[in-house]
Amino acid sequence: MNLGNLNWVLPLAVLFGIGLVLAIWTLWRDQRDLKILGHQNLVLSPGLAWGRRLVKGLLLLSGLFLILLGAIRLQGKPTPEDLALRGSDVVVVLDVSKSMLTQDMIPNRLEAAKKAIDSWMQNQTGDRVGLVVFSGEAIVQVPLTFDIQAVSMVLEQDDTEVVDRGGTDIGEGIRKALSAFPKDNPDKRGRAILLITDGELTDGASNLDQACEDAKKMGVPIVAVGIGTPQGRPIPDGASFWGEAQYKKSRSGEVHISKLDEKTLQKAANLSGGVFVAGDNNDNLGAIDSELDNLQKTEMKGQGAVKREEFAPALGWISAATILLSGLI
């Protein structure tokens, strides 16, 4: 057994408790009054009359209790749902470096990117999606899965602190994404990397060209989404003691302007056989759907969400019958 609506358990239990106390008090009062009326010969059979009211009250309370169980969604045995869906495999590679806090997108590049990714994922019905985040290093946060809501929940919590090493190493993010795909692809299932970054590489970044060529050899095109604007803006870096906004500075002491590096991302897309999408506005970000829809889709069996038998409809009918019966007695 399971309760599907735990938020309503306490208020409904309190409400039922109040009703139970009122019912007991009413039955006690009726029993007292019927005894008095019986002694005055105004009621022929006080015991029978009180018994009728007792049965009536118990039926009414039972009906209300069944309504309570239905409202908190009493559920039965869990049964996993087997799925056979047509789709492709897409690993999202998200830049979480400090430059993604730049506010040339509303409210900043990272939040705009997360919104675009989530919007795309919610429209997927048969795709498996994975999630890789990177800055100076990369980590696989979610392996390929049909559970889009799980990916969405992890994505929502992502910020610039989820990866320890700072910097922007796009090549490492791509390599980590390639490792997330199954080594064998006998069904020639469509596969792609959805890379979302501002394209600014930092010193010490690994060989991006080689990572893109490896992706092409594996048949994994990169849909490179450039998030930000070519004009750019300073990178927020906290606030001063007086509350004034501070910005990241270069080694020479000048405020660093973070700009979208379209050339790097266009090159990455071309080397891997993919496409570049300018993500400097929400209309362009909407093009992600059309680009990934071109992937070959094959059928794959998987396990979907665990479902439980819902008792609420049956409880509703029984409670209605019980309350109706109490009114007829």
- Please report the pLDDT score of residue 213 as a whole number: 96
The end-to-end CA distance of the chain, in Å, is 33
Which DSSP letter does residue 253 get?
S
Alpha helices in 137-227 (DSSP H): 148-157, 170-180, 208-217
Q: What is the CA radius of gyration of the chain?
A: 31
Query: Containing domain of residue 276, as a range?
Result: 89-296
Instruction: Report d(CA 95, CA 2) in Å as an integer.
Output: 40
* 158 and 244 part of one domain: yes
- Please report the pLDDT score of residue 100 as a whole number: 96
* 29 and 177 part of one domain: no
* 320 and 214 part of one domain: no
CATH at residue 245: 3.40.50.410
Q: Give the tens place of pLDDT for each residue, 11-31.
A: 878 888 888 888 888 878 877
* 68 and 173 part of one domain: no
* 93 and 35 part of one domain: no
Residues with Cβ within 8 Å of residue 245, at least 6 apart in sequence: 236, 239
* 122 and 71 part of one domain: no
Instruction: Report d(CA 204, CA 185) in Å as an integer.
Output: 33
In a domain? residue 248: yes
In a domain? residue 84: no
* 64 and 105 part of one domain: no
Residue ranges, the chain, pLDDT below 50: none
In a domain? residue 127: yes
List of E strands, 113-231 = 128-134, 138-145, 191-197, 222-227
CA max distance for the chain: 106
Between β-strands 2-3 and 74-87, what pairing exists: parallel, antiparallel or unpaired?
antiparallel
In a domain? residue 277: yes
* 34 and 161 part of one domain: no
In a domain? residue 160: yes
* 131 and 253 part of one domain: yes
- Please report the pLDDT score of residue 268 as a whole number: 96
In a domain? residue 159: yes
* 315 and 276 part of one domain: no
Q: Taking a C-beta distance cutoff of 8 angstroms, is the pair 38, 69 a contact?
A: no
- Please report the pLDDT score of residue 139 as a whole number: 97
- Please report the pLDDT score of residue 266 as a whole number: 95
Tell me how crowded residue 78 is: count the other CB atoms within 10 A of its CB. Answer: 10
* 260 and 316 part of one domain: no
| Helix or strand run (H / E) with residue 2 | strand 2-3
- Please report the pLDDT score of residue 44 as a whole number: 61
* 238 and 313 part of one domain: no
Burial of 92 (0-12, 13-18, 19+ CB in 10 A): buried
Query: What's the structural domain count of the chain?
Result: 2
Q: Give the tens place of pLDDT for each residue, 79-95.
A: 666 666 788 999 999 99
